[in-house]
């Protein structure tokens, strides 16, 4: 279909969301760039190699309690009425002796158990023991936490703070991780300005929002200057950033006279999908230019955010070898009816109220994709699948949160 026909036809045929996303991911290849990083800088990074424990943790038998290290056999028969008496020493534990230990300290040679301090009474250099112990009691064995050679994490695992602590505990100082995926964010539009908008002008927000989402999702954003609705300038902007792992544009993705970016991408590459059955934001387009995936987000702010989650987030995770986790969800009861069009996946903004016995969700908007405040002031959205004609008041729904997603 040529450009004039496309504008005339509009979006009579819209691709199912899952099919559009699959087409984009199929055209994207994970990069293989890696970098060595100290553990303190590895939080949120994806491992490029399997991590295996190089040493036991702990590297020694350790006391699990404050008390005295003893030979278990020296405590046999001890009781409150008839304590066993041992001699207190500082060095190795020989038959008939005990050595003071503290939680986490090394158990002296010769000892195989620790009697808790509350089950003893010290009388000068002698120790009365009121408890009979089994061998190994109150002792953490060498390698109890981690054994040398134990597989810890597979390549592709996204490191968390607790993971970093575990790696440090086994003696790892640095790891090889995948470089953060590089994403070029290009805001487009004749009407956009950086500040002080006049009549017919708006302050650029989509590119800023998307670039911050990229950083939150584990990518490295290059937030570009505004490009006006000129085919040559748009082409130059896209081609200049093809060294990035993903190029994302905001605005100009529909079928109006100034919506040029799909045509530009199709001229220098291939538009895979233009027009998706979701609301808000059906004019989204995805394509590829010289093996670089291009995500063309709509200009309306809410539609831009919704589609960034549906397309940019998964392709960024894919090319960066980062796991794509489900968004955090919370069940809530609808306070009023939530309509939806059959055949279209709807993302309805809602406000949560957890002050009662059960959380409730109040729909704020299912339309109005240009109202950015409806996203910023909402707590999440309810996803209405294509085969469902909305939800009724009182229905239990899953509210997806987006602001704290990674």
In this structure, are 117 and 251 located in the same domain?
no
User: Do 348 and 395 share a domain, yes or no?
Assistant: yes
Tell whether 174 and 187 lie within a shared domain: no
Tell me which of 178, 197, 232 is where a domain ends: 178
Kindly state whether residues 119 and 83 are assigned to the same domain.
yes
Quick check: is 197 in a domain? yes
Residues 121, 192 within the same domain? no
Q: What is the dihedral of CA 127, 130, 135, 137, to 10 degrees?
A: -100
pTM for this prediction? 0.82
What would the two tokens of residue 293 be? 């995936």
- Read off the pLDDT band of 8 (50, 70, 90): very low
Inside any domain, residue 406: no
* Residue carrying the six token digits 């002050």: 355
Domain count, the chain: 4
Main-chain phi, psi angles of 261, to 5 degrees: -65, -40
Domain assignment of residue 208, yes or no: yes
Domain-located, residue 28: no
- Each residue of 242-292: pLDDT tens digit? 999 999 999 988 888 888 999 999 999 999 999 999 999 999 999 999 999
Both 198 and 304 in a single domain? Answer: yes
The reply to whether 27 falls in a domain is no
Q: Are residues 165 and 208 in the same domain?
A: no
Can you give the CATH number for the domain in which 46 is found? 3.90.105.10
**What is the per-residue pLDDT across 210-244, written as a single tens digit (0 to 9) for each?**
999 999 999 999 999 999 999 999 999 999 999 99
**Average confidence (pLDDT) over 16-23:** 96
Identify the pLDDT of residue 404: 66
Q: What is the pLDDT of residue 94?
A: 96
Q: What is the residue-wise DSSP string for 258-290?
A: T--HHHHHHHHSEEEEE-BSEES-TT-EEEEET
Q: Are residues 354 and 342 in the same domain?
A: yes
Is 24 a domain residue?
Answer: no
pLDDT digits (tens, 9 = 90+) for 334-352: 999 998 888 999 999 999 9
**Boundary of a domain, candidates 290, 320, 350:** 320
Residues 210 and 104 in one domain: no
Nearest by Cα to 284 from 3, 17, 1, 18: 17
Show which of 320, 351, 366 is a domain's final residue. Answer: 320
188 and 224 within one domain: yes
DSSP 126-178: EEEE-S---TTTTEEPTTSSB-TT-EEE-TTPBP-HHHHHHHHHTT--EEEEE
Task: Tell me the residue range of the domain where 116 lies.
Answer: 62-140
Asked if residue 26 is part of any domain, the answer here is no
């Amino acid at each position: 279909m040529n450009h004039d026909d496309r504008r005339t036809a509009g979006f009579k045929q819209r691709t199912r969301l899952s099919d559009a996303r699959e087409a984009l991911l199929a055209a994207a290849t994970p990069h293989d760039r890696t970098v060595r990083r100290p553990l303190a800088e590895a939080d949120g990074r994806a491992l490029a190699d399997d991590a295996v424990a190089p040493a036991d943790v702990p590297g020694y038998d350790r006391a699990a309690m404050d008390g005295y290290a003893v030979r278990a056999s020296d405590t046999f028969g001890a009781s409150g009425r008839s304590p066993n008496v041992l001699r207190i020493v500082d060095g190795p534990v020989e038959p008939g002796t005990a050595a003071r230990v503290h939680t986490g300290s090394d158990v002296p040679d010769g000892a195989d158990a620790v009697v808790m301090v509350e089950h003893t009474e010290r009388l000068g250099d002698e120790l009365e023991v009121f408890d009979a112990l089994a061998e190994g009691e109150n002792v953490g064995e060498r390698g109890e936490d981690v054994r040398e050679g134990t597989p810890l994490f597979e390549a592709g695992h996204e490191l968390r703070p607790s993971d970093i602590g575990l790696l440090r505990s086994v003696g790892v100082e640095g790891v090889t991780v995948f470089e953060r995926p590089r994403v070029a964010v290009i805001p487009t539009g004749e009407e956009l300005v950086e500040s002080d908008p006049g009549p017919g002008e708006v302050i650029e927000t989509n590119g800023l929002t998307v670039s911050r989402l990229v950083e939150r999702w584990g990518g490295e954003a290059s937030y570009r200057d505004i490009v006006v609705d000129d085919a040559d300038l748009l082409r130059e902007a896209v081609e200049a950033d093809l060294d990035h792992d993903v190029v994302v544009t905001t605005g100009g993705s529909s079928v109006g006279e100034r919506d040029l970016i799909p045509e530009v991408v199709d001229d220098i590459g291939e538009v895979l999908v233009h027009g998706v059955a979701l609301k808000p934001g059906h004019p989204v387009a995805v394509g590829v230019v010289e093996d670089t995936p291009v995500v063309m987000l709509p200009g309306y702010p809410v539609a831009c955010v919704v589609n960034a989650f549906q397309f940019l987030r998964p392709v960024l995770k894919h090319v960066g070898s980062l796991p794509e986790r489900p968004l955090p969800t919370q069940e809530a009861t609808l306070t009023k009816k939530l309509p939806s069009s059959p055949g279209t996946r709807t993302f309805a903004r809602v406000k949560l109220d957890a002050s009662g016995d059960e959380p409730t969700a109040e729909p704020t908007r299912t339309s109005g994709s240009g109202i950015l405040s409806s996203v910023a002031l909402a707590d999440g959205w309810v996803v209405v699948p294509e085969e469902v004609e909305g939800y009724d008041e009182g229905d239990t729904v899953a509210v997806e949160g987006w602001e704290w997603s990674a």
